[in-house]
Amino acid sequence: RPTFLSGIQPSGRPHLGNYFGAIRQHVDSLNEPGDHFFFIADYHALTTIRDAASLRTNVRDIAATYFALGMDPARASFFRQSDVPEVTEISWLLATCTGMGLLERAHSYKDKIANGIKPSVGLFTYPVLMAADILAYDSTVVPVGKDQVQHVEMTQDMATHFNTRFGEVFVRPEARLPVRDDMAKVPGLDGQKMSKSYGNDVWLFESGKPLKKAIGRISTDSREPSEPKNPDELVLVDFLKLFLGDEELQDWRARILAGGESAPGYGHLKVRLAEAMDEHFAAPRAKYEELMGDPAELDRMLLKGAEKARERAVKVLDRARMACGLR
Ligand code: AQP
């Protein structure tokens, strides 16, 4: 019986990349038989959020977003990472078997450094805590976006290192990407990977004027609409692909490619994108707003979700402690 597990950081409001790369897959996976664990990675978020009130608000924001988008607490344990403190102990056990070289190869760490982010030790050891998150529940399927695949592979390595030393304790997980490649790595407004920490993201429930403003920032060039263009080179078309039906998308693509009188300008495409996105999220946005009105209920739902998760993690930690001689 498979165990699905994934997490999301409450490091800001979830963006379109989080939605298409992760949240949607998580909600869809509830239709597959198995056990389902999804969590809000608040320990991880401490590497970037240093303010208690913001962290609490962000956690509720992510919870309301998931519940509004169809996360069903009757079918999944949806919880706060820090409500299962066993993962921090598992993380230590894994750290003692993990070579520095493995962590030094992490792309996400290297990209953040290259983007001028000053690293803490916590940011460096992030993949070890993530491995503990996955291994703590005997997870077998980890639905993530492309940027997280390397971290799941590192988890496999850590599980193997531990098991080789101490016996079969941890179950080896596999990453699962969205079927569509454009959803596995959603571009940001500047064409790079959409990421909260790069400031090129769009909140998935953005609407009205702020949405138009965000979409207005999608990078374009100064070519005239009448000039024929390759639609596959336009970031704007990458965004349209996420929201339009195939027939409409092919029509826009053909008109961009042909150029001339009937070719759409970038402004025209941006208006259509704002409209399609607004409409796509209209119903969950209303639900999200309603849920955000009752923070105590959100907290209660998260605590309830942690019960089953903790039960499972306690067992796995017990196994690991016994295997390495701590008991
Ligand atoms: N651009 C993206 N396209 C597809 N999937 C994405 N994910 C993130 N960005 C994209 C997926 O979202 C899930 C949760 O991500 P996270 O918030 O835990 O961490 P992250 O990957 O580090 O997301 P960000 O926005 O890039 O956050 P920062 O800037 O704080 O690091 C993961 O499954 C991820 O693959």
Is 308 annotated as catalytic?
Answer: no
Q: How far is the CA of 262 from the centre of ligand 1 (A)?
A: 38
Q: Give the closest residue to 240 by CA, choosing from 222, 256, 224.
A: 256
For residues 203 and 12, give the distance between their C-alpha atoms in angstroms, rounded to a whole number.
9
Tokens of 66: 């998931």
Each domain of the chain, given as residue ranges in start order, spans 3-186+295-324, 206-280
Closest CA to 44 of 2, 15, 12: 12
Q: How far apart are CA 235 and CA 256, in angstroms?
A: 13
146 annotated ligand binder: yes
For residue 219, is pLDDT > 90? yes
Q: How much is the ipTM here?
A: 0.94
pLDDT at residue 149 is higher than 90: yes
118, 185, 193, 213: which is the annotated catalytic residue? 193
- Residue 225: band (very low, low, confident or very high) from pLDDT cuts 50, 70, 90: confident
Look at residues 159, 168, 86, 165 and name the one whose alpha carbon lies nearest to residue 128. Answer: 159
Q: Is 17 in the pocket of ligand 1 (CB under 6 A)?
A: yes
Question: Which of the four pLDDT bands, split at 50, 70 and 90, describes residue 222?
Answer: confident
Cα(240) to centroid of ligand 1, in Å? 20
Q: 110, 185, 196, 213: which one is catalytic?
A: 196
Locate the ligand 1 atom nearest the alpha carbon of residue 193 and give its number.
1
Residue 152 pLDDT: 98
- Mean pLDDT of the 194-200 span: 89
State whether the beta carbon of 192 lies less than 6 angstroms from ligand 1.
no
Residue 133 in marked binding region: yes
> Angle CA(318)–CA(39)–CA(278) in degrees, nearest 5?
170
Nearest to 144 by CA among 23, 44, 46, 259: 23
d(CA 54, CA 57): 5
Ligand 1 centroid, distance to 186 Cα (angstroms): 10
Ligand 1 atom with the smallest distance to the CA of 198 is 29
What are the pLDDT digits (tens) for 20-75? Answer: 999 999 999 999 999 999 999 999 999 989 999 999 999 999 999 999 999 999 99
| pLDDT beyond 90 at 84 | yes
Specify the pLDDT at position 198: 83
Q: Is the CB of 80 under 6 A from ligand 1?
A: no
Could you tell me the strand order of the sheet in which 35-40 lies? 77-80, 35-40, 3-8, 141-143, 174-176
Distance between CA atoms of 291 and 92, rounded to whole angstroms?
36
Judge if the beta carbon of residue 18 lies within 6 A of ligand 1.
Answer: yes
* CATH, range 206-280: 1.10.240.10
Atom of ligand 1 nearest to the CA of 12: 30
Domains 3-186+295-324 and 206-280 share a fold: no
- Which residue, chain included where needed, has tokens 């941890």? 170
Q: Is 58 in the pocket of ligand 1 (CB under 6 A)?
A: no
Separation of alpha carbons 174 and 322, rounded Å? 25
Q: What is the reported pLDDT for 112?
A: 87
Give the separation between CA 220 and CA 107, rounded to whole angstroms: 28
Q: Which CATH number fits domain 3-186+295-324: 3.40.50.620, 1.10.260.40, 2.115.10.20, 3.40.190.80?
A: 3.40.50.620
The answer to whether the beta carbons of residues 194 and 200 sit under 8 Å apart is yes
Query: Mean pLDDT throughout 119-136?
Result: 96
Q: Residue whose CA is closest, atom 12 of ligand 1?
A: 18
* C-beta atoms surrounding 267 within 10 Å: 11
pTM of the full structure? 0.95
Find out whether the beta carbon of 186 lies less than 6 Å from any atom of ligand 1. Answer: yes
Q: How far apart are CA 105 and CA 193, in angstroms?
A: 19
Asked whether residue 10 is marked as a ligand-binding residue, the answer is: yes
100 appears as a binding residue in the annotation: no
Which segment, 214-228, 256-270, 281-295, is predicted with the most confidence on average?
A: 281-295
Catalytic residue check, 196 = yes
Residue 267 labelled as part of a binding site = no
For ligand 1, atom 10, the nearest C-alpha belongs to 17
* Mean pLDDT along residues 123-135: 97
